[in-house]
Amino acid sequence: MFADTAKIIIKSGKGGNGHVSFRREKYVPDGGPDGGDGGKGGDVIFEVDTSMNTLNDYRHKRKFAAQPGEEGGKKNCHGKKGEDLVLKVPAGTVIKDAQTNLVIADMSGDNTRQTILKGGKGGLGNQHFATSTMQAPKYAQPGQEAIELEVRLELKVIADVGLVGFPNVGKSTFLSRVTNAQPKIANYHFTTLNPNLGVVDMGWGDGFVIADIPGLIEGASEGIGLGHEFLKHVQRCKILVHMVDAASVEGRDPIADIRAINKELMEFDPKLLEKPQVIAANKIDAFYEDENEVIETLRKEFEPEGYEVYPISAVSGAGLKELISTLKCMLDEMDDEPVIYEQEYFPELHVFENEAYTVVFDEEAQEYVVEGPKIEKMLGYTNIDSEKGFLFFQKFLREQGILKELEAAGITDGDTVRMYGLSFEYYK
């Protein structure tokens, strides 16, 4: 079965622990520390695979994890880096945080490979903690913890034009006539259960992509029928073509159908109604009388709202050339850039949520000590040695309320603050 959504759990690799060891050489009875650093954990990377067109690979397996980094070794040996996890997805896949439904990445356009979760940094070996007063440190830094995140994958087809309409109005027949697609066609409702894509060849290598969005029904925006499964595919399309049965072969009212579909589009995503819309009045070959009355009624109803009405027959081919030419002219006047969803959720900024920290004064060392998983992880993610990194760290301390707590504890300018391996003088 066609799969265009999946919910999975991804986990980056934990950083390897730093090692505690000391030189043991002949004639060197008091060798110094030589514990190596732990290896970095593997990243979780999403990559577009052009040979894929569904998310079936993620239907039966839900948990994916990158490799952890190895622990450091003796003689300053660095632990091996954990292997990255590369997850292949079809073009057009949107990755969202499952809890907030905010976009993490849109694997479309030029974005064919993106790191979603970074592996934890390896911990420092005990060689880094030797000082003039502590020449044989018996501790090392633990590797940074892995990040685990539940994400929702949504495949939104990439097409220029989307065909919308109730079941059995002729969308599949139209697609087979004007593109290279070969959809299954039969006189049954819901024959089309998957979005079908076809390329309209205008000659000289020029053309555009049309998507046949499976038949919508009233209540689709509320998830009735297969509504939610298909409405998301309309979101990337630049133009919407309403296909209606103008001959009312099955007794449907084409005006009521267009109003009903637009209502579902609006309730699913109001921005969909901002897209240009065209009406394809299909099945004119089935008219028993002059079609002008039906077409004129459609035009009187919708042209004041900016909708052009094109009478066509997907079976005989009547009116198809004019409709396709109009769609191509409309597209030529639009921006060539595909519809890309901007990133809204940044996992690395949320990894510290709900983690406590402590602020205490060490009377023996005369230092203020700030500790906790939140601080340790932040130090691991930030390059304090760079000006940009230090400013980012200052912002983090301010936003988390740590500076306020230090002030509440009585800190004054020139006092020393210690956070694990980092010490600095406080100045307001």
Do residues 181 and 197 lie in contact, with contact meaning Cβ atoms separated by under 8 Å? Answer: yes
Q: Residue 210 pLDDT more than 70?
A: yes
- Tokens linked to 269: 């995503």
Between the ranges 51-55, 253-257, 340-344, where is the mean pLDDT highest?
A: 253-257
Give alpha helix (H) positions in 139-234: 171-178, 227-231
Highest mean pLDDT: which of 54-58, 60-64, 172-176?
A: 60-64
DSSP 295-314: HHHHHHHHGGGT-EEEE--T
Distance in angstroms (rounded) separating the CA atoms of residues 218 and 354: 42
Task: Please give the Cα distance from 68 to 354 (Å, whole number).
Answer: 24
What is the arithmetic mean of pLDDT over 369-383? 70
Q: Which residues contact 132 (CB under 8 A, 6 or more apart)?
A: none
Rounded-to-integer distance, Cα 258 and Cα 309, Å: 12
pLDDT value for 125: 87
Number of neighbouring beta carbons within 10 Å of residue 101 = 11
DSSP, res 33: B
- 286 versus 315: the higher-pLDDT residue is 315
User: At 419, is the pLDDT very low, low, confident or very high (cuts 50, 70, 90)?
Assistant: confident
pLDDT band at 420 (very low <50, low <70, confident <90, very high): confident
Most confident of 153-162, 202-211, 213-222: 153-162
> What is the Cα–Cα distance from 153 to 90, expressed in whole angstroms?
10
pLDDT (0 to 100) of residue 240? 93
* pLDDT(347) > 90: no
Which residues have CB under 8 Å from 129's CB, separation 6+? Answer: 33, 137, 139, 140, 421
| pLDDT given for residue 209 in this prediction | 83
Give the per-residue pLDDT at 185.
Answer: 39
Strands (E), 249-402: 277-282, 308-311, 358-362, 367-371
* C-beta of residue 150 within 8 angstroms of C-beta of residue 290: no
pLDDT reading at 399 higher than 90: no
**Radius of gyration (C-alpha) of the chain in whole angstroms:** 31
Pairing status of strand 63-65 against strand 5-11? parallel
Average pLDDT, the chain: 80
Taken in order 419, 423, 425, 428, the sign of the CA dihedral is negative
| pLDDT at 230 exceeding the cut of 70 | no
**CB atoms closer than 10 angstroms to residue 105:** 19
Q: Three-class SS of residue 418?
A: strand
Q: Which residue type occupies 190? A: F
Q: Between residues 46 and 352, which one has the greater pLDDT?
A: 46
